[in-house]
Amino acid sequence: MDTPKYRELGLTDSEYELIVEKLGREPNDVELAMFSLLWSEHCAYKHSRKLLGKLPTDGPRVVMGPGENAGAVDVGSGYAVAFKVESHNHPSAVEPFQGAATGVGGIMRDVFAIGARPIALLDSLRFGELDSVRSRHLLDGAVRGIGHYGNSIGVATVGGEIYFEEPYEHNCLVNAMCIGFAKTEDMVRAAAAGPGNSVVLMGASTGRDGIGGASVLASAELGEGDEAKRPTVQIGDPFEESKLLECCLELLEKGLLVSLQDLGAAGLTSSAGEMASAGGVGIEIDVAKVPLREADMEPFEIMVSESQERMLAVVEPARVEEVRAICEKWQTASAEIGKVTEDGLVRILRDDETVGEMPVEALVDGCPLYDLEPAEPEEWIYGNRATLEAGASPEEELLSLLSSPNIASKRWAFEQYDYLVGSRTVRRPEQADAAVLQLPEAGNAIAVSIDGNGRRVACDPYLGTIDAVLECAQNLACVGAEPLGLTNCLNFGNPEKPAGAWQLDQAVSGLADACNALGVPVVGGNVSLYNEGPDGPIYPTPVVALVGELPDPEQVAGSGFARDGDAIGLIGPFEPSLAASELAKQRGELKMGLPRPDVEAVARACEIVRDAVRAGKLSSAHDVSDGGLAVALAESAIAGGIGCEVNVEHLRERGAQPEEALFGEGPGGFVVSGERGALEELGATLLGKVGGDRIEIGAGDHSLGVSLADAASAFHSLPAQVEPEAS
């Protein structure tokens, strides 16, 4: 017997039975396609929603929380900053350029859907090791794709992070973040309202691109042949989106829309269903009125198409003509494709014929939610090749860490992005630990950082996730910013496997506990599960992003040493450990386990550094992260173009052996420079001073010294690793 269609579409037997029960009959192909998408993990969060309830979402500055197209926080003077991160992992693994480009396009639509003008983009990327041709291809394609879309649409790409680890070899991660800026009173929600109002589809025409899982239905109808292998990766058109963006913002500014929603995953099905669900109304869509790229598309194809650069609006009938006129001004197509109803049904018509009819509640909120069955693996489940020879000297270890693509300068990537457009960029990539954007309209500035070291999370999903949040908070503190809200993208493996379930469960608990301890609300998030390749799952990778506020963009520290003769100090409860460190990775010594940080103490250290930066007391501030204290010192020296002479033996008092003091990692450490008296007042452990053209670090029998030039050359070695054929 043939496999039933519903199973090929990813529904289980019991889910299908539930659909039949809710409809009181078997679904037809249109309905089956729509249910299969909205009841997918991607749309229904069926394996993660119960866990996500743990996250704190309230706060005095929250303007919009989870459930809206993007979260938003109040930045004062009547303005809000909206932000969201979303994954585009699987499309990018198939076709990195278009996958990454449409990831950027999609996240921008989420932000302007709530009426905020996109002002910045960041990206969090993960690939396999650079000695793999496939990883270099994916990296090059993803970076070009991000640049292509972001540069062309004129939104600055101001920051991000890239890690290279074996478990991402087959399943790279491309997470894109967009930040928008709006007058709070102009923002809109996605809820449809007012039965009788028109539903207007704007933007690109609808084609067969990105039909995804529903191609099972297509192939069943078309029979055997090439048609079955339709491209499932969408193609991005930043020019179309640029017009659509300006058009939507003008429509909102003129108050012509009741609500607005972008078309992302599951296309019209998802946006129409979610708008109706949020508004507690019904919605009717006539697929015959949807502008098509190909004339002979089936109703289900039109409903599930993921063609890019489309938005759905609810408009009062009397305003439709005005809306269409503004669309024409921006050369954006628009079509009235349906109306809001009061019967609580999603009804799909083709001309006068009803081709699908489902209760909104069943379609959008009816998917069963599952409990995970977590079990902690008994040992390290990932591989770990040693790449550093045993017996390497401390100098060799430092240079090897600086040239690790995880630590080395990412200038090769970020110079392919326009990080200036908009004239808000006060700190460019790598000038400081967080990107800083001025908001002249509100009279202040925001800082943004995005972080998520999957290796630490693999070693301990609970503590590793706490560490990711702390690192992000520390990055903000370094530029004098106070966190206002957090968003995240949870990239994990298969939650139906016990180890994957355990990683996800632990990570969400860590995220919740860290946010509670820091008093930061989670205003939105995204979940990407089933990230596995033939060799197993990816490192569990919760990518977290914090947006913070700083009152005065004139008072922002950089990460580089700035003045000959400045004292160098260490602030914070930093307790270095080689567990999960870059050095442990290079030595092939990774295993389970992380030390437990004192979150309250780290939070206090963040406040001390933040206040000192705001008061202009520091010449530089940089958090201790990958590669430990020696690498942080070297990075500050390279960024400032001036050397340093320090001694880290004080860390013995914290129980650290010399090697751990140099290269051990963990949250809570800040390398700062400034007047000696100022550092003493802050309670910093004095390490030495800025000056010379060498990096000299006393560490007992592990003392090391390298020239600034050699360190810089290692730190800037990424281009040669990315394009070995060119060098």
Structure tokens at 520: 């930061």
Please report how close the Cβ of residue 10 comes to another protein at its closest, in angstroms: 36
Least distance to another protein, CB of residue 319, Å: 23
Pick the stretch among 1-9, 234-242, 306-314, 499-507 that binds another protein (CB under 8 A). Answer: 234-242
Residue 614 lies near another protein (rule: CB under 8 A): no
In whole angstroms, give the CA distance from residue 284 to residue 197: 11
Out of 415, 535, 681, 693, the residue judged to bind another protein by CB under 8 A: 415
Which string of x and - marks every residue 306-345 that binds another protein (by CB under 8 A)?
------------------------xx--------------
- On the CB side of 90, CA atoms within 13 Å amount to 17
Angle at 38 between CA 291 and CA 191, to 5 degrees: 70
Task: Provide, rounded to whole angstroms, the least separation between the CB of residue 420 and another protein.
Answer: 5
For position 422 contacting another protein by CB under 8 A, the verdict is yes
Take residue 444 and report the two structure tokens written for it. Answer: 């202040």
> Which one-letter DSSP state was computed for residue 2?
P
The yes or no reply on residue 420 touching another protein (CB under 8 A) is yes
Q: How far is the CB of 562 from another protein (least distance, A)?
A: 16
Query: For the chain, how are helix, strand and coil distributed in percent, rounded to 5?
Result: 40, 25, 35
Task: Give me 66's structure tokens.
Answer: 């989870």
Q: Kindly give the interhelix angle for 133-153 and 96-113, rounded to the nearest 10 degrees.
A: 40
Tell me the C-alpha distance between 715 and 407, whole Å. 8
381 binds another protein (CB under 8 A): no
42 given a catalytic annotation = yes
- Min separation Cβ 417 and another protein, Å: 6
Phi first, then psi: give them for residue 117, nearest 5 degrees. -80, 125
Strand pairing class (156-164; 117-127): parallel
Least distance from another protein to the Cβ atom of residue 329, Å: 9
Going through 520-647 in order, the beta strands assigned E by DSSP cover 522-528, 532-533, 536-537, 541-550, 567-571, 620-623, 644-647
721 part of the interface to another protein, by CB under 8 A: no
Answer yes or no whether residue 619 interacts with another protein by CB under 8 A: no
Q: Which of 12, 77, 393, 423 binds another protein (CB under 8 A)?
A: 423
For residues 415 and 680, which CB has a smaller minimum distance to another protein in the complex? Answer: 415
In the complex with another protein, which residue's Cβ is closer, 95 or 418? 418
- Neighbour-count burial for 166-204, b at 16+ CB within 10 Å, e otherwise: bbbbbbbbbbbbbbbbbbbebbbbbbbebeebbbbbbbb
Are 523 and 66 spatial neighbours (Cβ–Cβ below 8 Å)?
yes
Cβ neighbour number for residue 467 with a 10 Å cutoff: 30
Binding mask 432-471 for another protein (x = CB under 8 A): ------x---------------------------------
- By C-beta, is 331 or 393 nearer to another protein? 331
Residue 97 Cβ, how far from another protein at the closest point, in Å? 13
Could you tell me how far CA 330 lies from the centroid of its own chain? Answer: 30
The residue from 47, 88, 90, 702 that is catalytic is 88
Whose CA is closest to 694, among 622, 648, 633? 633
Which one among 426, 484, 567, 714 touches another protein, defined by CB under 8 A? 426
Q: Using alpha carbons, select from 40, 51, 53 the residue that is nearest to residue 368.
A: 40
Work out how close the CB of 155 gets to another protein at its nearest, in angstroms, rounded to a whole number: 8
Q: Is 242 in the site for another protein (CB under 8 A)?
A: yes
Using CB under 8 A, pick the residue from 169, 237, 286, 460 that binds another protein. Answer: 237
Residue matched to tokens 């270095």: 576
Give the residue with the Cβ less far from another protein, 422 or 521.
Answer: 422
Given candidates 47, 126, 243, 339, which one binds another protein under the rule CB under 8 A? 243
Select 246 or 396, whichever has its Cβ closest to another protein.
Answer: 246
Which residue's CB is nearer to another protein, number 420 or number 709?
Answer: 420
CB of 297 vs another protein, minimal distance in Å: 25
Q: How far is CA 110 from CA 85, 151, 263, 326, 490, in A?
A: 10, 18, 9, 21, 18
Q: Which range, of 237-245, 267-275, 401-409, 535-543, touches another protein by CB under 8 A? A: 237-245
Binding flag, residue 181, another protein (CB under 8 A) = no
Q: Report residue 542 as tokens.
A: 């919760």
The reply to whether 151 sits near another protein by the rule CB under 8 A is yes
- 553 interacts with another protein by CB under 8 A: yes
Query: Applying CB under 8 A, does 530 fall inside the site for another protein?
Result: no
Tally of CB atoms within 10 A around 512 = 20
As annotated, the active-site residues are 42, 88
Which residues would be at the binding site for another protein (CB under 8 A)? 144, 147, 151-154, 237-240, 242-243, 246, 330-331, 414-426, 428, 438, 553-554
